[in-house]
Structure 1
Amino acid sequence: MGHSRQRRIEEIIVHEAALFAALFVGALVQTALLPRPFDVPINLMLLLAVCHGLIAGTTSAARWAFYGGLALDLCAMTFIGMHALALLTGVIVSTALVSRLSRENWLVPMLGVAIGTILYHAVYALFLTLIVAPVDLQGYALAALVPDTLIAIIPALPLYLVFRWNEDRVRRRVPVDVY
């Protein structure tokens, strides 16, 4: 009990392929099925990666962001790497900054998702300007950045609480009351 064994390479490959497949399904759901309030899609990949990163750490969140970004690039038919690099930037910086705060504070996931969304859109707008065409920053901020940030903050807390509950369940943590 409590002994850690080395995972074989086959187990690691299967685990990573299953993670990519699950995030690819999430990207399909994000691009094809989720509603678009105010004609702005809900950034499900960013929500998943940031909330997971606040629970599991920045390294694991970076894997989720990279796989989710590649899946978004494939589903949205954009240049490979645009969403991946934008998600990586937003998720790594936001989880590194916000993970220093207490996990019990309910503002943590909302702050993390807000920071991640702003950084994601900043990097994505930079790539659009460099690769596709110049972007009107004021129009992009009003049409994409602000609505996406406000829409992403709403499900951040419930999703974070589900991830935290699952992590506590898997680790079998029992809350202790001190009298």
Structure 2
Amino acid sequence: MSLYFVIPFLALLAIFQATAAPQIRIANGTLNLLLLCVMLWEQIEARGEGYVWAFIGGVVLDLISGGPFGGSILALLAATFLANRLGGGLFRDRLLLPLVAAVAGTFAYNGVYLILLRIFSVPVNLVDALVQVVLPSALLNVLASPIVARLMLALYRRVKPVGAVW
């Protein structure tokens, strides 16, 4: 997909992630729409575009958030790698794949981010973070993934129409 579309799209998602998404919460967990879109795109496309999306989205999110720079980039890249390993390109054939990817990707994203916070000497209780943040976030992401998956599939069909067969 053209970067002229991808960069503004991911910038809007990152702005939503930093401003509005914290208002959508269960316990301390929040919806991570940027994570879902990046992982689902990698599962739909499976040509490595998800990694580009993860890098661009991570840069924008790191620029507007208060976390360590590079944390979102590495966390999104780890989740995208996991989404690809779970079945990149098979999304159109499997119903449960987006749900499994949402759970696994949430754990990968938050796990990498928590490790980076510990490396940068931010005091984080890993057990509390897992129970109070990661599990509720995984639940929210699983609940949102069927809707986001349909929207991403519609976007894919719009920008990558089926070619003519001779």
TM-score, normalised with respect to structure 2:
0.85
Structure 1 counterpart of 2:17: 30
Structure 1 alignment gaps of length 5 or more = 1-11, 175-179
* Residue-by-residue CA offset, 1:126-160 (whole Å, 9 max, x unaligned): 00101032421110101111001110011111221
Q: Percent identity at matched positions? A: 24
Structure 2 counterpart of 1:161: 150
Q: Aligned residues, how many? A: 161
TM-score, normalised with respect to structure 1:
0.80
Distance verdict in 2 for CA 1:40–1:95, change over 3 Å: same
Q: State the structure with bigger RCO (CA 8 A, min sep 6), 1 or 2.
A: 2
Q: Is the 8 A contact 2:14 2:57 kept in 1?
A: yes
Aligned partners of 1:102, 1:121: CA distance in 2, in Å?
Answer: 23
- Of stretches 75-84 and 15-24 in structure 1, the one that deviates more from structure 2 is 15-24
Structure 2 counterpart of 1:177: none
Aligned partners of 2:61, 2:78: CA distance in 1, in Å?
Answer: 15
Moved over 6 A (4+): none
Letter matched to residue 24 of structure 2: R
* Residue-by-residue CA offset, 1:92-144 (whole Å, 9 max, x unaligned): 12222232756222101111121111111111110010103242111010111
Distance verdict in 2 for CA 1:152–1:60, change over 3 Å: same
Letter matched to residue 155 of structure 1: A
Structure 2 alignment gaps of length 5 or more = none
Q: Which is higher, the Rg of structure 1 or of structure 2?
A: 1
Corresponding residue SS for 1:132: coil
- Of stretches 116-125 and 51-60 in structure 1, the one that deviates more from structure 2 is 51-60
Letter matched to residue 86 of structure 1: A
| C-alpha RMSD of the superposition | 2.2
Structure 2 counterpart of 1:8: none
1:16 counterpart = 2:9: no
